[in-house]
Amino acid sequence: MTRFRFHTADTAPESARDTLRLVHKRMGFIPSLYAGLANSPTALKTYLTLSELIAGSSLSPLEQQVIALTASAENQCGFCMAAHSTIARQMMKVDDAIIDGLRNDEPLSDPRLQALRRFVTDVLRQRGYVRGNALERFLAAGFTHENVLDVIVGVSWKTLSNYANHVLQTPVDAEFVGELWEPATR
């Protein structure tokens, strides 16, 4: 079985070391995802760039977490579900009902957030071929054309990390272990 190395700032390829040092300074630790992505400085920088871009997008921080949790559930990524559940619940103080609904595949009581969740799912399942009713429902919920494209950026952001975590077999960090998640059987 192929094992990937999970790097520290000292063991990473030279062009990823400063990035990992900055992550450690900002977060107080280097999440396993980042340590694994450091095997490819390009992958690490791409993920961090997408993270910054989605943070500055037309979508609110709550909407960004709805995208992250929806995509991670759809892609069955336990690492990202644990990480984003922790971020949403502990750092952002998102209502437990929203987080639990996203984690347990239950409808959200907020119609706008439910529309966002459904659109993200449509984008993923239809591989971006969202037209007609799916697109119209999303826009009718009060979202804009800019939001449509920003959702696609968010899906790209999470697809990169979800797929990387699958390949890397990323262990869940101690900081996120309180939000462990297993996908429901389909």
Condensed to tens digits (0 to 9), the pLDDT of residues 58-97 reads: 999 999 999 999 999 999 999 999 999 999 999 999 999 9
Amino acid sitting at position 176: F
Give the pLDDT of residue 176.
97
Low-confidence ranges of the chain (pLDDT < 70): 1, 185-186
What's the length of the chain? 186
Q: Which two tokens stand for residue 34?
A: 């980042």
Q: How does DSSP assign 84-144, residue by residue?
A: HHHIIIIIS---HHHHHHHHTT---SSHHHHHHHHHHHHHHHTTT---HHHHHHHHHTT--
Q: Which two tokens stand for residue 19?
A: 């990035």
Burial grade of 56 (CB within 10 A; 0-12, 13-18, 19 or more): exposed
| Model confidence, pTM | 0.94
Q: With beta carbons less than 8 A apart as the criterion, state whether 151 and 59 touch.
A: yes
Hunting for tokens 């799916």 — which residue is that? Answer: 134
Give the pLDDT of residue 186.
55
Give the pLDDT of residue 1.
55
Q: If you ran DSSP here, which 8-state letter would residue 49 be given? A: H
